[in-house]
Amino acid sequence: MQVDTSSGTVATADLLSAAEQGDRAAWSELVARYTPTVWAVARAHRLSRVDAADVVQNTWVTLMENMKGIHNPARLSAWLSTTARRHSLRAIAARRREIPVDEPRSDSLVTEAADVGVVWEAWNAALWKAFTQLSEHCQRVLRVLVHSPELSYEQVAAAVGIAPGSVGPTRGRCLSELRRKAALAGLFQEGVR
């Protein structure tokens, strides 16, 4: 099935159907029509330009692999946005797992590492001191969230004995209080996240 895309008024359903059957013009029209949306989602996640480009490419590859599964072509924009968001979150998670490594710059690498270790230990001790100044309730909530990030809010609520709807607000208040106490201890400026 060949679709005449020159008019620019071809329905998304027709474009998807034609692209699924190998019509390159239909595929190009889909890409031209929806790429700005996909880019906007990727950039909204504050990804670098390179990571955002990877998200855009992965989103289109995912559509190509799943075209037969699109049951409501009118919702293609939402499907692409959701897919781009998922790829963006994966990119963010992958970046968090990366450990940047610099090449040694001098013969005093051992001394520098020791200095960094001392600074890290002092910073870590000050942060734990700020943490212990939180209420028992906040400490319990934050410990569960940090040590078991895979738990749903319902599971966290059951573990700490609060309503599921209050887990998010409680977490926010507790983290704000921890930030304030850490700022008072000189770990970073208040308001910096």
- What average pLDDT does range 9-29 have in this prediction? 88
Rounded Cα distance, 7 and 21, in Å? 20
Please provide the size of the chain in residues: 193
Do 124 and 179 fall into the same domain? Answer: yes
- According to the model, what pLDDT value does residue 8 have? 58
Domain count, the chain: 2
Establish if 2 belongs to a structural domain. no
Rounded Cα distance, 66 and 58, in Å? 12
Nearest one of 113, 143, 111 to 128, comparing CA atoms:
143
For 106, list phi and psi in degrees, rounded to 5.
Answer: -155, 175
Two structure tokens written together for 164 = 């599921």
Do 18 and 93 fall into the same domain? Answer: yes
- Residue 80's alpha-carbon distances to 40, 41, 99, 166, in angstroms, are 11, 9, 31, 32
- 107 or 19, which is more confident? 19
- According to the model, what pLDDT value does residue 191 have? 46
The per-residue pLDDT for range 110-142, each reduced to its tens digit, is 555 555 666 677 777 888 888 899 999 999 998
- According to the model, what pLDDT value does residue 105 have? 53
- 180 or 105, which is more confident? 180
Per the structure, the complete domain to which residue 32 belongs is given by: 12-97
Say yes or no to pLDDT of 33 above 80.
yes
Establish if 191 belongs to a structural domain. no
Establish if 3 belongs to a structural domain. no
Q: Residue 58: pLDDT band by 50, 70, 90 thresholds?
A: very high
Q: String of b and e for 116-150 (b: at least 16 CB within 10 Å)?
A: eeeeeeeeeeebeebbeebeeebebbbebbeeeee
- According to the model, what pLDDT value does residue 83 have? 93
Do 117 and 161 fall into the same domain? Answer: yes
% of the chain residues with pLDDT over 90: 29
- According to the model, what pLDDT value does residue 87 have? 93
Q: What is the CATH number of the domain that holds 69?
A: 1.10.1740.10
DSSP alpha helix (H) spans, the chain: 12-20, 24-44, 49-66, 76-97, 109-132, 136-147, 153-160, 167-184
Final residue before a domain boundary, out of 97, 128, 152: 97
Final residue before a domain boundary, out of 62, 97, 132: 97
Establish if 24 belongs to a structural domain. yes
Two structure tokens written together for 79 = 């499907």
Give this prediction's pTM: 0.49
Do 145 and 171 fall into the same domain? Answer: yes
The per-residue pLDDT for range 141-171, each reduced to its tens digit, is 988 888 887 888 898 898 889 999 999 999 9
Q: What is the CATH number of the domain that holds 175?
A: 1.10.10.10
Establish if 193 belongs to a structural domain. no
Establish if 107 belongs to a structural domain. no
Establish if 102 belongs to a structural domain. no
Establish if 190 belongs to a structural domain. no
Give Cβ neighbours of residue 23 (< 8 Å, ≥ 6 apart). Answer: 1, 2, 3
Final residue before a domain boundary, out of 46, 71, 97: 97
